[in-house]
């Protein structure tokens, strides 16, 4: 049996899907040293996957979300005698003859399918046709769909009721490195290099409108005006530049927060860990999250979390985070203040966070995915 894993979302920049690809492949390699695997990556990916000899890493020169993936990739897989194809993102070759598994991380592709207002003219028409025609057909073609949360599964089934019997929920894990202690040298090096303020709250993620940064900035602005000591608290935005960074900078100007908000980009995972550890709290009142790695990362290093009631965040954070309506800036302000001033709440959320994060393991994720492979062959 030969299994191909499409990991072309692996990137030199951090992202949730890249995190999924790297950790799932690494732990599959630990569990299965006999099956023959092919791992597809993009030519520009410069890191090295730590896999044994039964894993062959192959460059496939095409964007993951492209017509070449949909219409041509099946020829490559056929020449390689692939029996099972697992796309680690929600797109796959439409005419692949073998068994097909697709991991669906969040609802963003389907939001694109339903609303493409940011595009115009011919580009709008082409994108609309791509999403509306291709996605439903490929999802229907799949033998199994892996949703990384119940929230993602529920949305899929609501949008495409015919998928109900083929969607299985397998939660993602959290990398072991987040449980390792940060040494003093690393802490000092990152703090000095980034000139970290003494008191700050942290957001980490992309700049897309679905991240709700507009309401988060409004909530933070109101907080900073409530008490004088709150004016000494910074908001650090550890951002992945995805084309919307300019819009975020404009939002900061509009909310008159230039003196209290700092943007940091291009961080490595070890640097991010220091930022998480030293933050007063993780500020993650986003929308449409399919899973929510930052919530678990904060809990692993003992940082309390303010998240939103939207999508998968309550499912992942459970009773170990504070949740707020992402569409209510006033409520965001109130809960920020509560978490910053209520020491007993702060302590309790840290304690619960340590317990909650233990429930998520890449070893368990990989083991359940491997069971699907065995079931199909």
**pLDDT for residue 123:** 56
Fold: same for 2-173+361-376 and 176-357:
yes
Give me the pLDDT at residue 242, please.
Answer: 75
Q: Which CATH fold topology does 176-357 show?
A: Rossmann fold (3.40.50)
pLDDT at 119: 47
How do the domains of the chain map onto residue ranges? 2-173+361-376, 176-357
Q: List the one residue out of 194, 313, 337 whose CA is nearest residue 265.
A: 194
Q: What angle do CA 11, 17, 22 make, to 5 degrees?
A: 65
| CA–CA gap between residue 251 and residue 282 (Å, rounded) | 20
User: How do residues 125-168 score in pLDDT, each as one tens digit?
Assistant: 566 677 788 888 999 999 999 999 999 999 999 999 999 999 99
d(CA 281, CA 202): 6
pLDDT of residue 111: 66
Regions in the chain scoring below 70 on pLDDT: 110-128
Q: According to CATH, what is the number of the domain 2-173+361-376?
A: 3.40.50.2000
* pTM across the whole model: 0.92
For the record, the structure tokens of 317 come out as 């954070």
List the one residue out of 54, 48, 46 whose CA is nearest residue 29.
Answer: 54
Helix, strand or coil, per DSSP, at residue 23: helix
């Amino acid at each position: 049996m030969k299994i191909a894993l499409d990991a072309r979302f692996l990137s030199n920049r951090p992202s949730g899907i890249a995190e999924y690809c790297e950790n799932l492949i690494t732990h599959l390699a630990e569990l299965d040293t006999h099956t023959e695997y092919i791992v597809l990556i993009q030519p520009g990916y410069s890191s090295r996957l730590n896999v044994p000899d039964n894993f062959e890493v192959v460059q496939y020169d095409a964007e993951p979300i492209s017509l070449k993936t949909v219409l041509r990739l099946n020829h490559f897989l056929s020449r390689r005698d692939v029996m099972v194809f697992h796309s680690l993102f929600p797109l796959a070759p439409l005419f692949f003859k073998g068994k097909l598994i697709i991991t669906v991380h969040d609802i963003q592709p389907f939001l694109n399918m339903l609303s493409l207002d940011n595009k115009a003219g011919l580009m709008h028409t082409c994108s609309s046709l791509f999403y509306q025609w291709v996605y439903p057909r490929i999802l229907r073609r799949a033998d199994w769909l892996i949703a990384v949360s119940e929230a993602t599964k529920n949305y899929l089934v609501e949008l495409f009721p015919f998928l109900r019997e083929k969607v299985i929920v397998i939660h993602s894990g959290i990398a072991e490195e987040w449980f390792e202690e940060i040494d003093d040298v690393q802490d000092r090096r990152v703090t000095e290099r980034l000139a970290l303020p003494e008191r700050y709250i942290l957001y980490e993620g992309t700049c897309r409108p679905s991240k709700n940064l507009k309401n988060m900035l409004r909530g933070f602005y109101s907080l900073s005006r409530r008490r004088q000591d709150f004016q000494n608290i910074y908001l650090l935005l550890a951002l992945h530049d995805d084309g919307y960074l300019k819009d975020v900078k404009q939002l900061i100007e509009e909310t008159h927060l230039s003196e209290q908000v700092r943007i940091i980009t291009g961080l490595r995972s070890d640097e991010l860990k220091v930022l998480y550890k030293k933050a007063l709290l993780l500020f993650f009142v986003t929308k449409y999250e399919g899973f929510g790695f930052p919530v678990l990362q904060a809990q692993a290093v003992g940082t309390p979390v303010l998240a939103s009631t939207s999508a998968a965040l309550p499912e992942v954070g459970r009773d170990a985070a504070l949740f707020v309506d992402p569409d209510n800036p006033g409520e965001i302000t109130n809960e920020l203040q509560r978490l910053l001033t209520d020491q007993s709440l702060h302590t309790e959320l840290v304690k619960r966070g340590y317990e909650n994060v233990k429930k998520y393991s890449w070893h368990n994720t990989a083991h359940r995915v491997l069971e699907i492979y065995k079931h199909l062959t």
